[in-house]
């Protein structure tokens, strides 16, 4: 119930391509779904987040798509750049102040 | 931009020794958290802290762990008797009334 399942584990994309990472959850009490970007030796940095009352949110090259009935959400990175090469984590939480549950992460490599 | 500050960045300790990891959360945040990331694995929730008490903890957060907010700015994680398997990156995070969790850069704990 507390798990967030993330796929793929790793992803290689050509520069300029679209990177897509998927996540699924079970707990319908989750109402906050962020994506974090992590570079080696650094802490996770919030990239973009969505709540279940919207189906899509876009910030620059990053878009979250959210399917409440399927309990799935995904991150799309448009025009992927070598600087986007990092580990991406999806996560979910209930109300403010509760545990943020992370997926296992996706290592993205963007080749130039 | 406000930051969560963690010290030290790297700590090496002998097995069985006590360690204290320190964090300065964002000043107007209400909720404080500790997370752990074993090398190459996902970020795992340890504990959340609100209004000077633990509000939620995971199975990982057993009796060898404790947290404290000794003054108005610091938030600490103590591990009483370290084991080899405690070697990991430890991240402090804080959030306000919303769900925006901000993570520090982490402390790499190496138990030898």
Model confidence band, residue B100 (pLDDT cutoffs 50, 70, 90):
confident
Partners of residue B100 in chain A, C-beta under 8 Å: 46, 49
Residues 6+ apart with CB under 8 A from B85: B111
The answer to whether residue A93 neighbours chain B at the CB level (below 8 Å) is yes
Which residues of chain A are modeled with pLDDT < 50?
Answer: none
In this predicted structure, what is the pLDDT of residue A1? Answer: 60
The answer to whether residue A68 neighbours chain B at the CB level (below 8 Å) is no
The pairing of strands B43-50 and B31-37 is antiparallel
Q: Are the beta carbons of B45 and A101 separated by less than 8 Å?
A: yes
Partners of residue A93 in chain B, C-beta under 8 Å: 99, 101
The answer to whether residue A102 neighbours chain B at the CB level (below 8 Å) is yes
Q: Nearest Cα to B60, choosing from B40, B76, B39, B83?
A: B83
B108: how many CB neighbours lie within 10 A of its CB?
A: 17
In order of A23, A50, B21, the CA distances from B105 in angstroms are: 25, 24, 12
């Amino acid at each position: 119930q507390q798990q967030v399942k993330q796929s793929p584990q790793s992803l290689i994309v050509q520069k300029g391509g679209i990177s897509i990472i998927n996540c699924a959850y079970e707990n319908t009490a989750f109402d906050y779904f962020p994506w974090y970007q992590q570079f080696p030796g650094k802490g996770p940095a919030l990239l973009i987040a969505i709540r279940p009352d919207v189906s899509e949110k876009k910030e620059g090259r990053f878009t979250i798509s959210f399917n409440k009935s399927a309990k799935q959400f995904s991150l799309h990175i448009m025009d992927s750049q070598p600087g986007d090469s990092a580990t991406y984590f999806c996560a979910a939480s209930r109300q403010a102040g509760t545990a943020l549950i992370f997926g296992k992460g996706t290592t993205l490599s963007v080749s130039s | 931009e406000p930051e969560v500050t963690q010290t030290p960045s790297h700590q090496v300790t002998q097995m069985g020794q006590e360690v204290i990891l320190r964090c300065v959360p964002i000043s107007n945040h209400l909720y404080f958290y500790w997370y752990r990331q074993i090398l190459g694995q996902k970020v795992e929730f340890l504990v959340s802290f609100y209004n000077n008490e633990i509000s939620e903890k995971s199975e990982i957060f057993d009796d060898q762990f404790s947290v404290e907010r000794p003054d108005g700015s610091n938030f600490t994680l103590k591990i009483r008797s370290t084991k080899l398997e405690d070697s990991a990156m430890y991240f402090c995070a804080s959030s306000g009334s919303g769900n925006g969790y901000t993570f520090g850069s982490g402390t790499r704990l190496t138990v030898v």
